[in-house]
């Protein structure tokens, strides 16, 4: 029938292998239309991808990150553990200015490396942190975190493990990584404690106490609390 109008399509337009149409399209016209439709769909997908990337870039420019905790004990996820994240300090030149909750002092970038810092901050943690319980995978996710210094703790035990030792996290990590995953070491809560009369254990304990005292004195001096 070619590109003409059939009797069945009289008054309606053109006839093709696709039936009567309200206008006279040839087979070539329909092929071009399919190509254009495909291009429109691809363009829509690309536009959506660019928009998502732009939103992520804006979020990074605004200083927003995330922290994912993974708690595992004996090769299995630890469920229903209550973990708390506190924003302990804001970024200043050379380190971090602690929030009022933690005394408002100054912590240098070198101080962050001391494990005693987390223990010291945990004393004043309070109730104002972000709280979550780990899911069936042993994970807890904290999003929309601003740039700064964070304290991470666990309250109570779960699944026979914990709580883990408090630790600190900085965002962005290493100046670039905004999405951090942390898997703190989990110890069983029912492990037998070493006998205090063990000379080796006692010696190591005294050495650790001395080291902690030196690190704490260094930090207190930076906060102008001259107790040491």
pTM: 0.60
pLDDT at 175: 87
Q: What's the mean pLDDT in 163-176?
A: 94
Q: Does the pLDDT of residue 148 top 70, yes or no?
A: yes
Query: How would you label 165-194 residue by residue, b for 16+ Cβ within 10 Å and e otherwise?
Result: bbbbbbbbeeeeebebeeebebeeeeeeee
Highest mean pLDDT among 2-6, 52-56, 165-169, 202-206: 165-169
Angle between helices 115-122 and 199-222 (to 10 degrees): 70
């Amino acid at each position: 029938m070619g590109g003409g109008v059939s009797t069945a399509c009289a008054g309606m337009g053109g006839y093709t292998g696709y039936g009567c149409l309200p206008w006279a399209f040839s087979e070539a016209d329909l092929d071009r239309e399919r190509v254009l439709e495909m291009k429109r769909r691809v363009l829509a997908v690309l536009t959506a991808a660019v928009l998502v990337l732009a939103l992520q870039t804006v979020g990074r420019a605004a200083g927003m990150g995330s922290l994912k905790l993974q708690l595992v004990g004996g090769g299995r996820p630890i469920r229903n553990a209550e973990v708390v994240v506190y924003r302990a300090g804001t970024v200043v030149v050379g380190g971090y200015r602690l929030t009022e909750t933690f005394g408002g002092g100054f912590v240098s970038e070198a101080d962050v490396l001391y494990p005693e810092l987390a223990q010291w901050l945990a004393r004043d943690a309070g109730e104002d942190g972000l709280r979550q319980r780990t899911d069936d995978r042993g994970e807890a996710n904290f999003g929309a975190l601003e740039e700064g210094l964070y304290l991470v703790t666990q309250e109570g035990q779960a699944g026979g493990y914990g709580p883990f030792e408090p630790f600190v996290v900085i965002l962005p990590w290493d100046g670039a990584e905004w999405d951090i995953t942390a898997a703190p070491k989990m110890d069983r809560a029912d492990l037998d404690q070493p006998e205090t009369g063990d000379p080796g254990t006692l010696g190591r304990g005294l050495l650790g106490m001395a080291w902690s005292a030196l690190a704490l004195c260094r930090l207190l001096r930076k906060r102008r609390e001259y107790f040491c």
